[in-house]
C-alpha cells in the first residue's frame, strides 16, 4: 500500500477498496457533553467516520473542533467540518494546525450556510477565502508543509481532505466541472448533498465517470432518510438546491402517517443498494438529521455491518 496522506480510518477504508459508510452528528446548542456522548453511541461501530458539523445553518453550537476531539475520546473518528463564513485565513490555518494536534485526521472544507439563515442574522461574515481555496490551502499545508505566505510549518498537519458537491444546484451543466476543480484543488474525498432525485444523480455520475473524476477522488453519495411526508415537503419548498421529486413525496403520503418514517428509511435503503453498485461511487454519507438513534437500524438493514477494521 502506498503511503497514506493522513492515516485516518476513512482513508484506509477507502484505500482498501471497501464501500465506505460515514455518518453525521451536529454538536449541541450548549456545552452539553453528556448529550453529545449519547449521540456518539448510536454512531459508534456503525460508520467509518462521523462528520461534525460547523455551526450548520449558521446556528450557534458547540465548536466542531471541540466536539471532534470529544468524539475521538469516545473512540470514534470525526470528519471535522470547517466553514469559511466565520474565520479568516489566519484563524483557518490556526484551527487546521490545532485539529491535527488534537488527533483529527479528516476535514471537510465548506463555504458555510449564509448567516442570514441562522439565529444571529445580524452577524458580520468573513469569507476571506472560499471553499475551493480552503481545499488548496489544506493541501498546501499538508503536502508542502507551508503556510499560505510560504513560511515553513513546524510539523505539517496531515489531514484527509474532504469537499462537498451539490449536483442539484444550478447551473447543472457546470456542476461536474466545479467538482473537477475541487478535486484539482486537492480534495481526496467528496460527500454529495442529500440525493433524492436518482434520475438526475445517475446522469450526473455518468458525466463524472466519463471525465474520470472517480479515479482521482473517492465519491460518497449523500443519503438522508425522510422522517415523514411533511419533512419532504418542507425541504422541497424551503431548502435551496434541494431536489425532491414529487414521486417521493407521493410515496410517503401514500402510507399511513405512523408508517411514513419506515417508508422514508426504505427509500434510503433502496438508494444505498443502488449506490453499492453504481459506477464511480465509493461509499455513502448518511445524514440522519437529528435522527442519530436510527443509524444502527439503518446500517444493519443496509447490510453495511460490521464496518471493516483496517
- 173 lies in the site for another protein, by CB under 8 A: yes
Longest Cα–Cα distance of the chain, Å, equals: 62
Q: Which of residues 236-295 bind another protein (CB under 8 A)?
A: 240-241
C-alpha cell at 66: 471541540
Write down the least CB distance from residue 185 to another protein, Å: 5
Of the ranges 3-11, 37-45, 112-120, 268-276, which one interacts with another protein (CB under 8 A)? Answer: 112-120
Give the span between the Cα atoms of 95 and 109, in whole angstroms: 12
Nearer to another protein, 158 or 178 (CB): 178
> By the 8 A CB rule, do 97 and 157 touch?
yes
String marking each residue 92-111 x if it binds another protein according to CB under 8 A: -------------------x
Which stretch in 23-31, 125-133, 249-257, 279-287 sits in contact with another protein by CB under 8 A?
125-133
Q: For another protein, which is the closer residue by CB, 112 or 283?
A: 112
- Asked whether position 68 contacts another protein by CB under 8 A, the answer is no
Looking at beta carbons only, is 77 or 188 nearer to another protein? 188
* C-beta of residue 302 within 8 angstroms of C-beta of residue 269: yes
d(CA 69, CA 139): 22
Q: Which is nearer to another protein, 36 or 137 (CB)?
A: 137
Q: Is 234 in the site for another protein (CB under 8 A)?
A: no
* Contact flag: residue 127 with another protein (CB under 8 A): yes
Q: What is the DSSP string of 116-164?
A: GGSS-TTPPP--SS-HHHHHHHHHIIIII-B-TTSPBPSS----EEEEE
Inter-residue contact 294 to 229 (CB < 8 Å): no
Assess 164 for contact with another protein (CB under 8 A).
yes
User: Which residue from 169, 255, 269, 310 is in contact with another protein, where contact means CB under 8 A?
Assistant: 169
Number of residues lying near another protein (CB under 8 A):
37
Contact with another protein (CB under 8 A): which of 60, 97, 148, 310? Answer: 148
Check residue 130 for interaction with another protein (CB under 8 A). yes
Site for another protein in 206-225 (CB under 8 A): none
Cβ neighbours of residue 8 closer than 8 Å, sequence gap 6 or more: 49, 77, 105, 106, 159, 160
Q: In whole angstroms, how close is the CB of 118 to another protein at the nearest point?
A: 12
Interface with another protein, residue 85, by CB under 8 A: yes
Query: Is residue 187 classed exposed, middle or buried when 0-12, 13-18 and 19+ CB atoms within 10 A define those classes?
Result: buried
Residue 166 binding another protein, by CB under 8 A: yes
Q: How far is Cα 268 from Cα 251, in angstroms, rounded to an integer?
A: 13
The answer to whether 180 touches 211, Cβ cutoff 8 Å, is yes
Question: Can you list the alpha helix ranges (DSSP code H) found in the chain?
Answer: 9-15, 33-43, 64-73, 89-101, 131-139, 172-185, 198-210, 229-238, 246-253, 260-277, 295-301
Binding residues vs another protein (CB under 8 A) = 84-85, 89, 111-114, 116-117, 125, 127-133, 136-137, 148, 164-166, 169-171, 173-174, 177-178, 180-181, 184-185, 193, 240-241
Amino acid at each position: 500500500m502506498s503511503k497514506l496522506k493522513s492515516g485516518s480510518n476513512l482513508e484506509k477504508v477507502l484505500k482498501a477498496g471497501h464501500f465506505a459508510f460515514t455518518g453525521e452528528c451536529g454538536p449541541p446548542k450548549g456545552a452539553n457533553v453528556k448529550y453529545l456522548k449519547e449521540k456518539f453511541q448510536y454512531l459508534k461501530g456503525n460508520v467509518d467516520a462521523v462528520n461534525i458539523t460547523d455551526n450548520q445553518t449558521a446556528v450557534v453550537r458547540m465548536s466542531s473542533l471541540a466536539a471532534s476531539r470529544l468524539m475521538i475520546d469516545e473512540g470514534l473518528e470525526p470528519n471535522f467540518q470547517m466553514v469559511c463564513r466565520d474565520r479568516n485565513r489566519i484563524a483557518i490555518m490556526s484551527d487546521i494546525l490545532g485539529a491535527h494536534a488534537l488527533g483529527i485526521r479528516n476535514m471537510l472544507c465548506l463555504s458555510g450556510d449564509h448567516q442570514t439563515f441562522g439565529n444571529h442574522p445580524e452577524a458580520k461574515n468573513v469569507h476571506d477565502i472560499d471553499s475551493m481555496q480552503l481545499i488548496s490551502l489544506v493541501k498546501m499545508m499538508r503536502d508542502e508543509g507551508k503556510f499560505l505566505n510560504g513560511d515553513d510549518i513546524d510539523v505539517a498537519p496531515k489531514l484527509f481532505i474532504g469537499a462537498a458537491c451539490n449536483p442539484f444546484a444550478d447551473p447543472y451543466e457546470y456542476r461536474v466541472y466545479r467538482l473537477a476543480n475541487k478535486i484539482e484543488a486537492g480534495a481526496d474525498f467528496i460527500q454529495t448533498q442529500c440525493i433524492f432525485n436518482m434520475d438526475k444523480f445517475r446522469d450526473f455520475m455518468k458525466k463524472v465517470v466519463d471525465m474520470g473524476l472517480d479515479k482521482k477522488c473517492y465519491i460518497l453519495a449523500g443519503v438522508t432518510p425522510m422522517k415523514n411526508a411533511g419533512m419532504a415537503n418542507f425541504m422541497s419548498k424551503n431548502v435551496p438546491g434541494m431536489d425532491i421529486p414529487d414521486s417521493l413525496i407521493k410515496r410517503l403520503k401514500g402510507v399511513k402517517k405512523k408508517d411514513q418514517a419506515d417508508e422514508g428509511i426504505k427509500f434510503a435503503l433502496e438508494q444505498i443498494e443502488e449506490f453499492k453498485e453504481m459506477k464511480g461511487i465509493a461509499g455513502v454519507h448518511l445524514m440522519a438529521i437529528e435522527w442519530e438513534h436510527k443509524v444502527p437500524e439503518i446500517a444493519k438493514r443496509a447490510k453495511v455491518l460490521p464496518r471493516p477494521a483496517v
